[in-house]
Amino acid sequence: MRIAVIAHDGKKAEMVQFLMKNRSFFLDKEVQLVSTGTTGQHALDAGLQVERVASGPLGGDAQIAAQITEGTVHMVLFFRDPLGKHPHEVDVSMLMRICDVHNIPLATNPSTATALLKSIS
């Protein structure tokens, strides 16, 4: 299973904390992580193994969406910052729409992400 992990700037630390807390799950289930550039770099810096694509504003959200349409990403954990302004909000909306079109589970906060992981335990 491949899971995409993405986080807005104000949520990157929270994403890394979530990934570290659930590290054994990802290892036990042999989950491959793919991430947008900056989020992926934070995960790598924390010692996690993750494939990085471009940063979100530079096309990374579109690259993840393409992988969804190709059938190679099976879940998306996208910790969004609902209070921040995001110049690439159109890309975020597109990614969320692609998840809906392809029936891909999408979590936008740690509580929902935890529930999704429990559903495949």
The residues carrying an active-site annotation are 61
Contacts of residue 35, Cβ cutoff 8 Å, sequence gap at least 6: 4, 5, 6, 43, 50, 51, 52, 53
> Cβ distance 54 to 60 under 8 Å?
yes
> Cβ distance 3 to 34 under 8 Å?
yes
**For residue 59, is it left (φ>0), alpha (ψ between -120 and 50) or beta?**
left
